[in-house]
Amino acid sequence: MSMVKDAARRVNILDEEWSVSSSTVRLPKTAELVAGRIRKRIIRGELNEGDFLPPENQLMASFAVSRPTLREALRILESENFISVMRGSRSGARVHRPPVENAARYAGFLLQIEGTTVADVYEARLAIEPYVVSKLARSQPDGATDRLRAEVGRLRKMVDDRRYLEFMVAIAEFHRLLVEVSGLKTLLLLTSILQETVARYQVKFFEIHELPEELQRQRASSGLRSFDKVITLIDAGEARAAEAHWHLHLVNANLAWVPAGLKAKVVDVLD
């Protein structure tokens, strides 16, 4: 008899635990489900950049929801930059495909919260770019080196015009383009996050440390020669040599931009 009572008591305890744990499970609101369905259509390309969503009445009927629920769903999508609600003579919600810069900016906030150092950001590039350069040399994507050479030409024009501050910002774009032409979209997102920080840090570094013009020109010219060399190695299909060269380039760049012992944090750059 006591065994039966013990078993019954254990069942009651399990029932109580289940009821407690079930009460803590958060079910998505109807507005979130509606937002999710519209978001999925945008991501899949069923709705394109610049398209307008159907009128409110049509959406309400389509999703079988009330006007307040629909408007809450639209506010969710607007906060995520998937739509912008137009008001006026041509009211409605215009569709957008959020650019990668949005994710990079948000990730920058997280780096600040975590107390990430600038040195940490620079070191992270060593885990990405040498591999990318090697892959480019092995896979030889159509037009990749042409785009890289065009970017180097743009950078060289800045140096010739003595636009050194603009050059410092544009260097980050070359690093980003290097990953873009590889077609590795996940690494492109990570690189965009890193380069957002790097570009802003280099501008601040340039403003604080007033280098003689001749030294600026020497550094810029040296960097451009390194860019030319990595492109040549990629074009030649020399994967190992390209990877080794770019690894050394990044190591030297890190030493130049982030002196040993520098404790600057991302929060100091993105304020």
Q: 180: domain CATH number?
A: 1.20.120.530
Helices 213-235 and 129-139, packing angle to 10 deg: 40
How is residue 182 annotated by DSSP?
T
CA torsion, ordered 152, 218, 134, 105, to nearest 10 deg? -70
Q: Are residues 90 and 129 in the same domain?
A: no
Q: pLDDT digits over 194-205, tens only? A: 887 887 787 777
Q: Are residues 87 and 110 in the same domain?
A: no
Separation between Cα atoms, residue 256 and residue 171, nearest integer Å: 14
Q: pLDDT digits over 28-63, tens only? A: 789 999 999 999 998 888 999 989 999 999 999 999
Q: Is residue 63 assigned to a domain?
A: yes
Domain boundary among 80, 95, 110: 95
Q: Are residues 88 and 188 in the same domain?
A: no
Instruction: Write the CB contacts of 69 (distance below 8 Å, at least 6 apart in sequence).
Output: 30, 31, 34
187 is in which domain, residue-wise?
Answer: 101-269
Nearest to 69 by CA among 42, 95, 37: 37
Q: 76: domain CATH number?
A: 1.10.10.10
Q: Is residue 4 assigned to a domain?
A: no
The predicted model scores a pTM of 0.69
Q: pLDDT truncated to tens, each residue of the chain (271 aa)?
A: 554 455 445 445 444 444 444 445 556 789 999 999 999 998 888 999 989 999 999 999 999 999 999 999 999 999 888 999 876 545 679 999 877 777 777 777 888 888 888 888 889 999 999 999 999 999 999 999 999 999 999 999 999 999 988 888 788 889 999 999 999 999 998 888 888 788 778 777 777 777 788 888 898 999 999 999 999 999 999 999 999 999 999 999 888 888 776 666 776 765 5
